[in-house]
Amino acid sequence: MGIIDSHEALRELVGDVAERTQKKIIGYLDEHARTLIEHSPFVLLATSAPDGSCDVSPRGDPAGSVLVLDEKTLVLADRPGNKLIDSFRNIVDNPHAGLLFLVPGMNETLRVNGRAKLLSDAPFFDALVVRDKRPKLAVVVEVEQVYMHCAKAFLRSSLWDPATWPDRSTLPSLGTILHDQMGLAMSAAELDASLNERARTEQY
C-alpha cells in the first residue's frame, strides 16, 4: 500500500494549491455568505475532542433559523436529540469547529470554520424560537474562515437528482437496523412506529 505519512509526500501527490483557491478564503461573513446561510435549512457541525476523536452532527431547522449576529458571529440553536451531546462535550474541551451549509438544489456549499462556545441563555434566544419552543442551548461560532466549496462532489454523486435515488423499500428501516444491532425484543415494525411517532412529535 502506498501510505502517505508526510505533508511533503501529500503535496507532491496532490499538487500545489491554485492562487485563486487560496484567495477565496475570507475571514468574515460577507453578503453572499449571509444569503446562503439564510436559505440553508441544513448544516453539518464538525467538532473534535482533545484526543483527536471527531464527530459530525447534522443540524436542521427551517431556512433562516441560523442567526448571523454580525460578520464574525453566527448562532445555531440546539433542538431535542439523543442526548449523547458528543458535539457539545467536544466544544467544551476544544472550541475549534467546522460548519458545512447546504441549500437544497444547490451543488455548491458554504464552509465556515471558527471557534465555538455554548450558551444556555442570551437576549437573542427569543429569535431562536421555533414552534413556540425556546432552545435550552445554542452554539455560538466566532468565524475565522469562510469559503465556497465547488460543485464537484454533488455533481459526482448526483445528490439532488431523484432519478439516482435508491428505492427506499430496498433499504433497511431504522427500526430494522436497531432491532438487529441491539437485539431488542420489540419487533422492527413496532420500533419503526415508535420512532416515527417520536420524530413527528418531538422535533422541538
**Residue-wise pLDDT tens digits, 141-179:** 999 999 999 999 999 999 999 999 999 999 999 999 999
| pLDDT tens digit sequence for 2-60 | 999 999 999 999 999 999 999 999 999 999 999 999 999 999 999 999 999 999 999 99
pTM of the complete model beyond 0.85: yes
117-132 CB burial, b ≥16 within 10 A, e <16 = ebeeeeeebeebeeee
| pLDDT tens digit sequence for 102-139 | 999 999 999 999 999 999 999 999 999 999 999 999 99
Domains with residue ranges and CATH for the chain = 7-157 (2.30.110.10), 166-201 (no CATH)
